[in-house]
Amino acid sequence: MQAVILVGGQAVRLRPLTTNTPKSMVPVLNRPFLEYVIWNLSRHGVKEIILAQHHLAGPIESYLGNGSQFGVRLTYVIEEEARGTAGAIKNVERYISGTFLALNGDIFSDLDITQMVRFHKEQNATATIALVPVEDPSAYGLIEADLVGRVRRFVEKPDPSEITTNLINAGTYVLEPEVLAQIPSGVPVSIERETYPLLVSSGQPVYAFSFSGYWMDVGTSEKYLQLHSDLLAGRSTWYTPATDERILIGEGCNIYPTAQLIGPVVIGPGCIVGEGSIIENSVLWGDVRLGNRVRVQSSVIADNCVLNDDSSVENAVLGDHVTVIAGGRVGSGSDVESGKTVG
């Protein structure tokens, strides 16, 4: 079984965290996000993975190498010009040899891939789309299926009167290679808005596979913080918290005894937290330095940031190598670009 992971997006909504870091390499519990996606495929027997890349491709290959540490073989394919989700899959067509998986590289999920592939083969489907229920489906594309799971209709970002289901596209697909022949080359194509509706309208068997496990589209800093909170609370099968405090501290950190950590808190490797500082509901990446009496609340602080004495950051996102001056305040809703000095 092969899998194609789409990791070429520019992740504009997650900036400034993704200004210099590919979205798939953004750390989750101090490990790159993409590691979880690859491990999940590996544990379901997928051993050949193709990474469809475009934006900031270099750091991914430098970190993952050939994939042997995950028990898989990785192939890297760079798309010189972004051509949408279907276009990115079409670009790796020469590497596909049979039924394959395609996944959005920004989805954290407990999806049972083995069950999904089995369902796909039992239905003799051309394409199978994973579906997950959400509380408010109005911001997503809805998929309507009959009682046996065959897809009948797609509704993109529906009006309230059009909502007939709370099941949305979960960003994971099982595809037969003949789907690739129906994607035009050299032009932007969306698999969600163009390819799947074309398959359904032409009578080809497209099926929906519903599941109710943990699922998160990590598209914004709010969702990124929520993912950490959920994982530290044990809401996913991926992680069992070691303590009830919901605090995770990386290697080589120096946390002064008078500092307060109020979970959920994740602190990356090599961080320093000074006397009397308070960190609450926040994520610090690696080599972040907090001076004395610094307060960080509901925020994400990227690599190599320096927050000097008596400064505070609240409900904000700091890109890498940001400096907050002594006594400086970074207020609610701020997104500070990499390398800036603020306060």
**pLDDT tens per residue across all 343 residues of the chain:** 899 998 866 656 667 877 877 778 888 888 888 888 898 899 899 999 999 877 666 778 888 888 888 889 999 988 777 788 888 898 898 999 999 999 988 888 889 999 999 999 999 999 999 998 887 776 676 788 888 889 988 876 666 666 777 788 888 999 999 999 999 888 888 888 889 999 999 999 999 999 888 998 887 888 888 888 888 888 888 777 777 778 999 999 999 999 999 989 999 999 999 999 999 999 999 999 999 999 999 999 999 999 999 999 999 999 999 999 999 999 887 888 989 999 7
Residue type, 301: I
pLDDT at residue number 333: 78
Which two structure tokens, joined as six digits, stand for 261?
A: 């950590």
* Run of H or E including 265: strand 260-267
Contacts 24+ apart (CB under 8 A), 335-340: 335/15, 335/16, 335/221, 336/16, 337/15, 337/16, 337/19, 338/16, 338/19, 338/20, 338/302
| pLDDT score for 55 | 62
Q: Which two tokens stand for residue 80?
A: 């010189």
pLDDT at 24: 80
- Put simply, whether the predicted model's pTM sits higher than 0.85 gets the answer yes
Closest C-alpha to 321, from 332, 343, 306? 306
Both tokens of 25, joined, read 């390499």
Residues in the chain, total: 343
Among 23, 47, 157, 340, which one carries the catalytic annotation? Answer: 157
The predicted structure's pLDDT at residue 172 = 94
d(CA 37, CA 253): 27
From first CA to last CA, the distance across the chain in angstroms is 52
Q: Which domains does the chain have, with CATH numbers?
A: 2-221 (3.90.550.10), 242-342 (2.160.10.10)
Say what the pLDDT of residue 56 is.
Answer: 61
- Measuring CA to CA, how many Å separate 69 from each of 37, 57, 61? 14, 20, 13
- Count of C-beta atoms within a 10 Å radius of residue 199: 21
Which amino acid is residue 315, in one-letter code? N
CB atoms within 10 A of CB 171: 21
DSSP 222: H
Count the alpha carbons within 13 Å of 22 in the hemisphere toward its beta carbon. 26
Question: Measured between alpha carbons, how far is 336 from 314 in angstroms, rounded to an integer?
Answer: 12
157 counts as catalytic: yes
Structure tokens at 337: 């670009």
